[in-house]
Amino acid sequence: MSRSYFHLHLVSDSTGETLINVGRAAAVQYEGISAIEHVYPLVRSGAQLERVISEIKAAPGLVLYTLVGHELIERLEEACRETGSPTLNVLQPVHALLRSYLGATSTERPGAQHMLNAEYFKRIDAMNFTLAHDDGALPDDLDEADVLLIGVSRTSKTPTSIYLANRGLKTANLPLVPSMPLPPSFERARKVLIVGLIASPERIVQIRQNRLLSLKADENSAYVDRESVADEIAASRRLCAKYRWPTIDVTRRSIEETAAAILDLYREHRLKFIAT
């Protein structure tokens, strides 16, 4: 099947993360078609916009933008009409709905969501904690964590932890190793939400084999033996059932989907903890 391509211009007065996520989430729905992304972050002056326009003229395509300055918006849309490039102000429908519902007007501050407020520093603090508590490191202060992820090797504990940290949750993770007991700090932990990550043996074996291949290591160990891996996963299920820790099967979940499920569990956990 041949693949076709189109130019996707993403123009932002901030980091461009919103546009990248929206553009990719939409483009991936079209089989056989790929976007050639052109990302222009921090576009806040006329001179910067003119450089963007010159690139759009050189490679016309679809233009998504998140600009708040009226003059910049008018100039961009005028240039796009000249090149026949469809444009969409991605946040405009959301702002219109908020204005209608709230009966208020927006402040039009470029990059306002990235201002150095308390939420920003909370995320930084969570990221520092998470990196210091990766792969079972420093387990003695687990009750300072918001979330603790456990699971056998290759269940995406580290990337999920980092994603949660970016959402402001202090997240530790601990690998479950056969015949190795849990640290004593687990018995003392009360506030932290403990979640078990599991996956099918076939998926774990596949990931581990790729890992060993990249390391040029022995591929005949119990680490990649299907029966041994199945025993590991069964043991992790029993452990979680013993302590009534929720589990999430990550076999067919993306990191984002796994994190979303954990965030829901965390909200429920916090409500119960506050109530007691």
β-sheet bridge partners, residue 36: 7
Domains of the chain: 4-112 (3.40.50.2300), 118-275 (3.40.50)
Reported as a single tens digit per residue, the pLDDT across 51-99 is 999 999 999 999 999 998 899 999 999 999 999 999 999 988 887 888 8
How does pLDDT run across 103-132, given as a tens digit for each residue?
876 666 665 555 556 677 788 899 999 999
Does residue 157 have a known ligand-binding role? Answer: yes
CA distance linking residue 135 with residue 174, whole number of Å: 5
Tell whether residue 160 is among the known ligand binding residues.
no
Residue 185 in marked binding region:
no
Confidence class of residue 227 from pLDDT cuts 50, 70 and 90?
A: very high
Give the number of residues written for the chain: 276
d(CA 208, CA 194): 24
254 is in an annotated binding site: no
The annotation status of 87 as a binding-site residue, yes or no, is: no
User: pLDDT tens digit string along 156-211?
Assistant: 999 999 999 989 999 999 999 988 888 887 777 778 999 999 999 999 999 999 88
CA 103 to chain CA centroid, Å, is: 33
Q: What share of the chain is helix, strand, coil (3-state, %, to 5)?
A: 55, 15, 30
Q: pLDDT-derived band of residue 150, with 50, 70 and 90 as boundaries?
A: very high
Name the CA dihedral angle for 200, 204, 205, 210, rounded to a multiple of 10 degrees. Answer: 150
The pLDDT value given to residue 183: 85
